[in-house]
Chain A
Amino acid sequence: MALTNPVAIVKGAVSLIIGLGVTIKAFFSPVVTVQYPRVELKISPRFRGHTKLVADKDNPDKTSCIVCGMCEKNCPSGAIVKVVGEKKEGEKKKTLTSYILDFTTCSQCGICVEICPVDALAFSAEYNRAVFTREGCHFDLVKEFEKRKIH
């Protein structure tokens, strides 16, 4: 620090005052934060929440899943715990009965959504799932699907 040079000292002091000007301007500017639980921002349509099952186009009451197990096989972190289906009488294809997702290990990479041959999976927009136990994040996508159907 050039403490003996008066010009440098004055210049330094001016630079500090300019800096103070920046913060005081910010002080009187409106805030940029959003108070989350009171105000909620719109979630981007592409937001990747946990995966959800998509209804079949022809038959909106059912999912289009054919229980091929591709998603389960390709999941990098083993988050898709179990995909179970059964063949009902009189139907050609298997029907999905349970799809257990362990959301604690899911990294939302989208490989399951992408690899699904019938596009039965999609990302949900749910971003604020809070649970008390680890098991709260293990959920059955079929049940979630049924719930959504009722609403």
Chain B
Amino acid sequence: MKTINNIIELVGWEAIKLLIGLIGVLVVVVVNALVLTWAERKVSGHMQRRIGPKEVGPCGMLQPIADTIKLIAKELLTPQNVERPLYFLAPVIVFIPVMVSFVVIPFDAYLQVKDINVGILVILAFSSLSVLSILLAGWGSNNKYSLIGSVRSVAQNIAYEIPLLLALLAVVLMTNSLSLRDIVESQKGLWYIVSQPIAFLVFFIAGVAETNRTPFDLPEAESELVAGFHTEYSGMRFALFFLAEYTNIFIICAITTTFFLGGYHGPILPGFVWFFGKTYLLVFVILWFRWTFPRVRFDQLLNFSWKLLIPVSLLNLIVTGGILKL
């Protein structure tokens, strides 16, 4: 007991908390990805009137674990002509920003690794990083499909980060804080989805685009680019991209919940149940999109952002500012 106290004194209580938090985050990330792969297959199955995985575990719930074991056990194949450092680095880099984003998300009133007063900036800054890894993967693979996919991804991320930010800004204007906890606390009475419906829509659509999901899944457009930027990846490296994709979905939905759906607020049930419930409901909507819509074309994608989402969110911002000033 004494040694523990010594260590705490040595490194500081904050650091220990952070360490435990990070381990917790890692667990959440992995479990979330496992749950989402299973959910994706189940949702797609039932939407297509089949049942999806069923054999491994009850309702096929252990299927993702079986898949993970398979992916880990697979040989790490490296194609001959890849740019080795970039090719190896990309799947590692893709994973870091999504981890960091978890640190600032308030899962419950007291369940947050660290409340930073610029929380939302941290998330946005790091989520922009993930496009770097996609670019590295595309370039490093030395494959034309990968390259086209990654170039698309860069253009798409730049285009959709702006409406993403502008939509959040409207909420920030109303709360006067960049801290996520403050934003959630200010929604105790009225959720921002009611006062900021347009910002919510813009944010959610841009968020779907940011996570490269259908109907905006151009970087990995299966029918055009085989698998886009991760065409040349297999085994665990592919699994890392996969993990990052699902974690990204979760983060976007978690932010939407935090900003617009009142975060952990809700009657009777404990806060984190509400938080995860709302988040996974949004995740379900994203899955639902994927199994309903076709993919937009590249020029349509960019037009949609530059010509519709950005003007609308700007207008929303101006109106919000004007009303607040009055």
Task: List residues of A whose CB falls within 8 A of some B CB.
Answer: 1, 3-4, 9, 16, 19-20, 22-24, 26-33, 35
Contact flags B41-63 to A (C-beta < 8 A → 1, else 0): 00101111111001000000000
Contacts of A3 in B (CB 8 A): 303-304, 307-308
Residue of B nearest to A24 (CB): B288
Across the interface, A31 reaches (CB within 8 A) one of B49, B292, B300, B304, namely: B49
Evaluate contact between A26 and B50: CB separation under 8 angstroms: no
Leading 6 A-B pairs by shortest Cβ distance: A33-B50, A3-B307, A23-B292, A23-B47, A32-B49, A3-B308
| Centre residue among B46, B50, B304 by max chain A CB count within 10 A | B46
Q: How far is the CA of A29 from the CA of B46 in the complex (A)?
A: 8
Residue of A nearest to B45 (CB): A31
Q: Determine whether B238 belongs to the interface, using a CB cutoff of 8 Å to chain A.
A: no
- Least Cβ distance of B80 to chain A in Å? 34
Evaluate contact between A26 and B303: CB separation under 8 angstroms: no
- Least Cβ distance of A52 to chain B in Å? 33
6 A-B residue contacts at CB 8 Å? A16-B293, A20-B292, A22-B292, A27-B47, A29-B49, A33-B50
Known: A23-B47, A29-B49. 4 other contacts (CB 8 A): A1-B304, A20-B289, A26-B49, A27-B288
| Centre residue among B45, B47, B288 by max chain A CB count within 10 A | B47
Contact (A27, B293) CB under 8 Å given A3-B303, A3-B304, A32-B50? no
Total cross-chain contacts (CB, 8 A):
46
Across the interface, B50 reaches (CB within 8 A) one of A19, A28, A31, namely: A31
Q: How far is the CA of A35 from the CA of B45 in the complex (A)?
A: 13
Q: How far is the CA of A1 from the CA of B298 in the complex (A)?
A: 12
Q: How far is the CA of A22 from the CA of B73 in the complex (A)?
A: 40
Contact (A31, B308) CB under 8 Å given A22-B292, A23-B288? no
Residue of A nearest to B50 (CB): A33
| Centre residue among B51, B292, B293, B308 by max chain A CB count within 10 A | B292
- Least Cβ distance of B16 to chain A in Å? 45
- Least Cβ distance of A14 to chain B in Å? 14
Q: Determine whether B242 belongs to the interface, using a CB cutoff of 8 Å to chain A.
A: no
Residue of A nearest to B307 (CB): A3
Across the interface, A23 reaches (CB within 8 A) one of B50, B291, B300, namely: B291
Contact (A27, B43) CB under 8 Å given A3-B308, A9-B308? yes
Q: How far is the CA of A114 from the CA of B140 in the complex (A)?
A: 61
Evaluate contact between B49 and A35: CB separation under 8 angstroms: no
Evaluate contact between A20 and B288: CB separation under 8 angstroms: yes
Q: How far is the CA of A32 from the CA of B46 in the complex (A)?
A: 10
Residue of B nearest to A29 (CB): B49
Q: How far is the CA of A28 from the CA of B46 in the complex (A)?
A: 7
Q: How far is the CA of A31 from the CA of B50 in the complex (A)?
A: 5
Q: How far is the CA of A32 from the CA of B308 in the complex (A)?
A: 40
